[in-house]
Structure 1
Amino acid sequence: MVVGGGGSLHVLEAVYERVDGYAVAREERTRLRKAGQFEKTEALQYGEIDFAGFLNVLEAAEPREGDKFVDIGSGTGKAVLLAAGQYQLGSAVGVEIVKPLHELATEAKERFYSQCPDAPTPSNKCSVVLGDSFALTNLWLDADILYCPCTCFTEEMMAALTAQMKHLRPGTRVISTSRPLEVPCLSLTTTLRAKYKRGTLQFYIYTRNAQAAAAAATTTDTEAATDVHKTGAKHDGDGHNSSKMKQDKRAKSANNKGNGTGVKQPTNQPHSQHATRQQQQQPGEGKGGKRAGKKHKNKKGKRGKRQQQEQGSEKRSKMM
């Protein structure tokens, strides 16, 4: 869906003809080393797209009118301005952490729009931002096409990047370079090798899964419900859960009613103690147990007397 055609492409080539991002990045690394900030130079390995080569990559990502394109690590802004100059996007955004590269991108944008004021994506919808992409996720988690030039990312940066993939919207297309993104919520749709400023580069294009998004939403809802439940349970000064204490009191009250006594029973073994008492009861005990026991003894005594009388009668009969 190329709209801008070759006109804006020729303008971009002219705009960047004398822009050397490689030299600027090299100077920045030298400055950081002299300042003793060696850790900051590890991921500062610069690379640039080739306009024709990256246009093939963008076409494979199938841009649609109104899409938001974001480049996290935009350098001098080449990918951002190419997308803005070729497609009717809702917005085109680039985020770059190296200030000298960001300044070159700002200048390139001004020159491009001065020569292409009618570019498919207007100037007010195209922006380059100075900052850390991982601290500015609000700028790209709602992207429709997310470009991640991660060829030289450290392992820490790759971990941070993949952790954010689950927060993308379903249907988002993600473009990575050199290194595949092994994330369950992303489906690989295209791989292609395209020309780069220096040599060629492997590109991977993914689509954010709708099923994974639904699962993530369910997990989030469950976690939120759990948090609400935990928050709703108040604690006293000793750290006890007052909600559980109320439940224990209700259990004690119910147990006491069941025993028919006014004595509170321990709540840890209400059923076993009640059963033990039942097992200890003898026949005739329980409700009215004493009266029943007396009757049982009286009947037994009468039967004994009757038997004695009968036995005495039998003896007398024999003697006669």
Structure 2
Amino acid sequence: ATWSAGIYGEITPDAFSQMLRLLHVRPGMRFYDLGSGTGKTIAIAAHVFQLNATGIELSKDRHNAGCTALAALQRSSTSTGPKASDDPRAELVHGSFFDYDFSDAEVIFMDSVEFTEAMMARIAELGRSLKKGTRIATWKTLPGEDYRHVDTMELKGTWGGMAVQVFEKTTEPRPPLALTLPSRAAERC
């Protein structure tokens, strides 16, 4: 199937920060945003919450805008905090998250408003390789017996309020069925 990067909306920075607090993230945790847009979530995850954060975005324009913003943030410093370049890690990857190995994730966010059922099913299949206990926050249901719904958070996006569902991986890691686990070879900044 062919996936499109045409439709776009974002979770607000305040709502995203609230979500990370409710997920009880700790500094150094491995975080991914599947469909990271202009990278605001990655900047917040790395700079504010000190997470090892990677965003994967299909749209070249949004990826480039995110790289420009992240580079500016990394060059800046304030008298009240460290430079963004001192963060554990903030990385933006251009490409499809279906072609990226995110199996080391501890927390995943997907602003999945426009994801199809087929996309969610493929994400769930790739997620078989995730560690037991990995948390996934998404607007849409994550299908499959490998995941348990643990919470629903009412948060705000640029399009209005929505319920973010939180799922937890309940099974030990194993290879995806009939899929080759993707590599990490992609354009990044």
8 Å CA contact 1:191–1:204 kept in 2: the answer is yes
Which of 177, 180, 190 matches 2:141?
180
- Compute the RMSD of aligned alpha carbons: 2.3
Matched, 1:111 2:88: no
Cα distance in 1 for residues equivalent to 2:59 and 2:166: 26
Cα distance in 1 for residues equivalent to 2:159 and 2:43: 19
8 Å CA contact 1:74–1:96 kept in 2: the answer is yes
Q: What SS does structure 1 have at the residue aligned with 2:115? A: coil
Cα distance in 2 for residues equivalent to 1:166 and 1:205: 16
The structure where strand makes up a greater share of residues is: 2
- Distance apart, 1:200 and its partner CA: 1.1
Q: What SS does structure 1 have at the residue aligned with 2:172? A: helix
8 Å CA contact 1:86–1:119 kept in 2: the answer is no
Which protein is bigger by CA-based radius of gyration?
1
Partner of 2:60: 99
Partner of 1:213: 172
8 Å CA contact 2:28–2:88 kept in 1: the answer is no
8 Å CA contact 1:92–1:125 kept in 2: the answer is yes
The structure where helix makes up a greater share of residues is: 1
**Are the structure 2 counterparts of residues 204 and 122 from structure 1 closer, same or farther at C-alpha, using a change threshold of 3 Å?**
farther
Q: Which has the higher contact order (CA 8 A, sep 6+)?
A: 2
Q: Taking every aligned residue pair, what percent have the same amino acid on both sides?
A: 27
- Equivalences, count: 172
Matched, 1:129 2:88: no
- Distance apart, 1:120 and its partner CA: 7.3
- Distance apart, 1:141 and its partner CA: 1.4
- Unpaired runs of 5+ residues, structure 2, are 178-189
8 Å CA contact 2:151–2:165 kept in 1: the answer is yes
Partner of 2:118: 156
Kindly report structure 1 stretches of 4+ aligned residues shifted beyond 6 Å: none
**Are the structure 2 counterparts of residues 141 and 40 from structure 1 closer, same or farther at C-alpha, using a change threshold of 3 Å?**
closer
Q: Normalization by structure 1: what TM-score?
A: 0.50
Q: Normalization by structure 2: what TM-score?
A: 0.82
Cα distance in 2 for residues equivalent to 1:199 and 1:150: 14
- Distance apart, 1:52 and its partner CA: 0.9
Cα distance in 1 for residues equivalent to 2:20 and 2:37: 18
- Distance apart, 1:123 and its partner CA: 5.0
- Distance apart, 1:153 and its partner CA: 1.0
**Are the structure 2 counterparts of residues 122 and 190 from structure 1 closer, same or farther at C-alpha, using a change threshold of 3 Å?**
farther
Q: Deviations over 1:202-225 (max 9, x none)?
A: 10112211xx227x59xx9xxxxx
- Unpaired runs of 5+ residues, structure 1, are 1-38, 221-320
Cα distance in 1 for residues equivalent to 2:3 and 2:137: 25
